[in-house]
Structure 1
Amino acid sequence: MAELPRIVSVDDHVIEPAHLFETWLPARYRARGPQPLTAGIGQLAYIGGKYRITMDPEGPPTDWWIYEDLRFPYKRNIAAVGFDRDEMTLEGITRAEMRPGCWDPAERLKDMDLNHVEASLCFPTFPRFCGQTFAEAHDKEVALACVRAYNDWMVEEWCGDSGGRLVPLCLIPLWDVGLAVAEIERNAARGVRAVTFSEIPTHLGLPSIHSGHWDPFFAVCAETGTVVNMHIGSSSQMPAASPDAPPAVQASLSFNNAMASMMDFLFSGVLVRFPALRLAYSEGQMGWIPYALERADDVWREHRAWGGVRDIVPEPPSSYYYRQIYCCFFRDRHGIAALDAVGRDNATFETDYPHVDSTFPHTKEIALDHVRGLDEETVYKLMRGNAIRMLGLDLDRDRDRDQNRDRDGGRAATRTPGR
């Protein structure tokens, strides 16, 4: 391999600037919308898999969002780049203490250049991974305006001057599927091809994907080529074992949410009804996928009569995975070792900037360590090609055209005359 292709990262994050809602929310909603505030943070407790955070005038200065009865602080572990490993804690942080690339798009592009990254898809922070913050709000009129304001900021400010390098990822109003369809259509009309969604909606008190409730949403995503992106934790809970286990247990089990969600989709009939729908699992890694697919296919063969899927899933579940689902990785040697089962056309790469798991600024070295020994075409697919295809990015068109021409020419040369 002559050189590692520049990476297209399908899972990064943005820290929202303090001016977001003041600038992008219509004036009539601003007093009731999210308000930025710098104030002290109290002692953080981790109880039963959930964080308990309070304000404390005597505590370390922290940047917060105040919205209805919500008090949302930014913490070091979500803006960790630039800190030593042992400083990546759950303490509060201000934007002034963060690396500017966390919230400034021009600085983000500079950090992407330092990190061998050409393009990046970024999940929200204050709205949470799929917009749960607004779904939980009491005043849904303001909440809808906030969803639209966030999307306008994402498309026009965060991504607008990046030359296509920052890829828009938009929210939907989760509480109303009709409004969600309208928001997909509004954003697709301006070129957005990615939306974030909950991996397990029932954990948010929403209907399940088996109910048919979300079919209009899935239909419009399929029609517009909008990829449904599901980040671990987008169900507002993470898998845990003992209720008094430390956060490290939760972090080690985080892939379980993606696995549970994927099984939900494989046996739901959603991918049967919407064959053009594409799903992307973010930060779930991929080493678990080969056995999950093996088990799903085995259950489909041996247990479908009593398992409730005989009439809704006509083909082995793995066939829908290979056709419609993408995974991603950044530290996963087991996934690379099982790449043929994971799918060379299904795996994408991420850097998780600026979270505590981020590979910044060593992403190139870490990626090389994983793909060394793979053929150049596979490396290209993993580092950027699959992501470009998944998101419909306007990158590498000359390369793809040349390869298609070469393949067509090769077929013509070997075609038997007269046939």
Structure 2
Amino acid sequence: MDTQTTTHAAPGTPLPPIISVDDHTVEPADVWQHRLPKKYLDTGPRVVRAPLKEMTFLGGRFKPVMGEPGDDGPIGDWWVYEDLHRPLTRLDTAVGYSRDEIKLEVITYEQMRPGSYDVPSRLADMDVNHVQSALCFPTFPRFCGQTFTEAADRELGLLCVRAYNDWMVEEWCGPQAQGRLIPLPLIPLWDPELAAAEVRRNAARGVRAVAFSEIPPHLGLPSIHTDDWDPFLQACAETRTIIAMHIGSSSRMPSTSADAPPAVGSTITFANCCYSMVDWLMSGKFERFPDLKVMYAEGQIGWIPYILERADVVWEENRAWGGVADKVHRPPSELFTEHVYGCFFDDAFGLKNLDSIGVGNVLYETDYPHSDSTWPKSREVGEAQMGHLPPDVVERIVRGNAIELLGLTPEGLWEGPK
């Protein structure tokens, strides 16, 4: 196995057990087939084994084409849902492979690391990586449920969202997880009232986080600047449910051109988080919903100080024509401190500028099992990058902030339904 990450400094402060706020689950093949009404089993999500005809990932767009039985081409497992064909790929579960082996290729469940989809195996891989607890984003539904939002049948889509959430709470984060896996449900993005109801349904089960899109208009949905999302935001504020936004949760990764290679997008993935955060800071929502909190998964943190500086300047100097003076009454940097969390797994620059971000606004992650993951060396990476920080600061970043934000026990575990 390849360690995937090289550290460059001797550890200073020993890292406490990690609470990762951005890992991923690959859903078992039977999640929806076991939970949907019979009439939907032929159109709802299911897995088939088929050859790959072609697959590209250019300009931030992932385009796979499934072949027919008997066609030439590598064989993989595909999620099929309505007209969608989405393969499992090596990028979905890359840990344990050397960098030269991690390619854009289709795979089967048998070729996947079991910790990607199996709870006991996940806990074992967490033990190897000094991780106590983990919040996991989805794979087939995509990072905030875009798969169901883009589907034609809304009734089926709602059933799929609820089925995923039931599996997430009752099985993935169920008794065998021992409180170490933290639930992250989805919402029906196409209907804010239904979304609010789903937030409340899951909050009643002890859930304190929900996935959302970083830039909803990219999905054909209203922007944060409208009042359309208010029922959903009100539900989150009332239940103290944090809104978790992952890079790519608007189905469009940052890029510069239609033919730009993936390396371009991978370098600037933080851009969507940047755009989204400015949207929220200038929307007035944090003043209307003072208990609302948002976090940005896999966006890193080094870019935050300049954006806060710039936002404060714009808010002050452009107040006569900037369009926000009537709804944003405090400097955006102050709103950030009270409402926004940045998440990182490998950001030495950001940690050197921690005073300009705020110790209380930073969360740690490992991104298991993706290609960017620091597994199985997350402890070593963290100690190398945080060695200059006092132990109490390291404790807050690695686990303390997450415990408070996600309503975990003092020991860092999810209690489940109260």
Pair in the same fold by TM > 0.5: yes
Task: State the shift of 1:52 in Å.
Answer: 2.1
The residue that corresponds to 1:18 in the other structure is: 29
> Rg larger in 1 or in 2?
1
Give the structure-1-normalised TM-score.
Answer: 0.93
Structure 2: tracts of 5 or more residues without a match: 1-11, 414-418
2:365 is aligned with 1:354: no
The residue that corresponds to 1:203 in the other structure is: 218
Task: State the shift of 1:24 in Å.
Answer: 2.3
Task: State the shift of 1:47 in Å.
Answer: 4.1
**Contact 1:199/1:230 (<8 A) preserved:** yes
Tell me the SS of whatever aligns to 2:42. Answer: helix
The residue that corresponds to 1:35 in the other structure is: 46
- Equivalent AA in structure 2 for residue 183 of structure 1: E
Cα distance in 1, alignment partners of residues 378 and 60 from structure 2:
30
**Contact 2:91/2:102 (<8 A) preserved:** yes
Cα distance in 2, alignment partners of residues 235 and 2 from structure 1:
37
2:66 is aligned with 1:55: yes
**Contact 2:19/2:132 (<8 A) preserved:** yes
Question: How do 1:142-221 and structure 2 match up within 5 A?
Answer: 142-161=156-175, 162-221=177-236
Cα distance in 2, alignment partners of residues 17 and 229 from structure 1:
23
The residue that corresponds to 2:129 in the other structure is: 115
Percent identical residues: 56
* Residue-by-residue CA offset, 1:275-313 (whole Å, 9 max, x unaligned): 100101000000000000000001111111110111110
Task: State the shift of 1:328 in Å.
Answer: 0.7
**Contact 2:59/2:262 (<8 A) preserved:** no
- Relative to structure 1, the CA distance from residue 397 to residue 59 in structure 2 (aligned partners, 3 Å threshold; closer, same or farther) is closer
2:243 is aligned with 1:232: no
The residue that corresponds to 1:406 in the other structure is: none
**Contact 1:171/1:195 (<8 A) preserved:** yes
- 1:70 aligned to which of 76, 84, 96: 84
Cα distance in 2, alignment partners of residues 397 and 27 from structure 1:
39
2:311 is aligned with 1:300: no
2:336 is aligned with 1:321: yes
Runs of 4+ in 1 over 6 A off after TM superposition: none
The residue that corresponds to 1:407 in the other structure is: none
**Contact 1:266/1:321 (<8 A) preserved:** yes
How many residue pairs get aligned? The number is 398
Cα distance in 2, alignment partners of residues 63 and 16 from structure 1:
12
Q: Whose helix fraction is larger, Structure 1's or Structure 2's? A: 1
The residue that corresponds to 1:411 in the other structure is: none
Cα distance in 1, alignment partners of residues 27 and 373 from structure 2:
18
Task: State the shift of 1:241 in Å.
Answer: 1.3
Cα distance in 2, alignment partners of residues 24 and 394 from structure 1:
30
Cα distance in 1, alignment partners of residues 60 and 114 from structure 2:
30
- Equivalent AA in structure 2 for residue 231 of structure 1: H
Task: State the shift of 1:148 in Å.
Answer: 0.3
Task: State the shift of 1:395 in Å.
Answer: 2.9
The residue that corresponds to 2:399 in the other structure is: 384
Structure 1: tracts of 5 or more residues without a match: 399-419
Cα distance in 2, alignment partners of residues 149 and 384 from structure 1:
30
- Equivalent AA in structure 2 for residue 66 of structure 1: V
- Equivalent AA in structure 1 for residue 208 of structure 2: R
The residue that corresponds to 2:411 in the other structure is: 396
- Relative to structure 1, the CA distance from residue 281 to residue 70 in structure 2 (aligned partners, 3 Å threshold; closer, same or farther) is same
Task: State the shift of 1:140 in Å.
Answer: 0.7
Tell me the SS of whatever aligns to 2:264. Answer: helix
The residue that corresponds to 1:342 in the other structure is: 357
Cα distance in 2, alignment partners of residues 245 and 17 from structure 1:
33
Task: State the shift of 1:397 in Å.
Answer: 8.2
- Equivalent AA in structure 2 for residue 254 of structure 1: T
The residue that corresponds to 1:133 in the other structure is: 147
**Contact 2:209/2:406 (<8 A) preserved:** yes
**Contact 1:255/1:285 (<8 A) preserved:** yes
Task: State the shift of 1:25 in Å.
Answer: 2.2
Cα distance in 1, alignment partners of residues 264 and 14 from structure 2:
37
Task: State the shift of 1:2 in Å.
Answer: 6.3
Cα distance in 2, alignment partners of residues 385 and 143 from structure 1:
36
The residue that corresponds to 1:265 in the other structure is: 280
Task: State the shift of 1:50 in Å.
Answer: 1.4
**Contact 1:238/1:250 (<8 A) preserved:** yes
Give the structure-2-normalised TM-score.
Answer: 0.93
Task: State the shift of 1:364 in Å.
Answer: 0.6
The residue that corresponds to 1:417 in the other structure is: none
**Contact 1:29/1:145 (<8 A) preserved:** no
- 1:312 aligned to which of 327, 330, 350: 327
Tell me the SS of whatever aligns to 1:64. Answer: strand
- Equivalent AA in structure 2 for residue 384 of structure 1: R
Cα distance in 1, alignment partners of residues 321 and 405 from structure 2:
35
Task: State the shift of 1:239 in Å.
Answer: 1.1
* Residue-by-residue CA offset, 1:249-272 (whole Å, 9 max, x unaligned): 011010000000000000000011
**Contact 2:14/2:383 (<8 A) preserved:** no
- Equivalent AA in structure 2 for residue 150 of structure 1: Y
Cα distance in 2, alignment partners of residues 278 and 60 from structure 1:
44
The residue that corresponds to 1:106 in the other structure is: 120
Cα distance in 2, alignment partners of residues 23 and 366 from structure 1:
40
Task: State the shift of 1:385 in Å.
Answer: 0.5
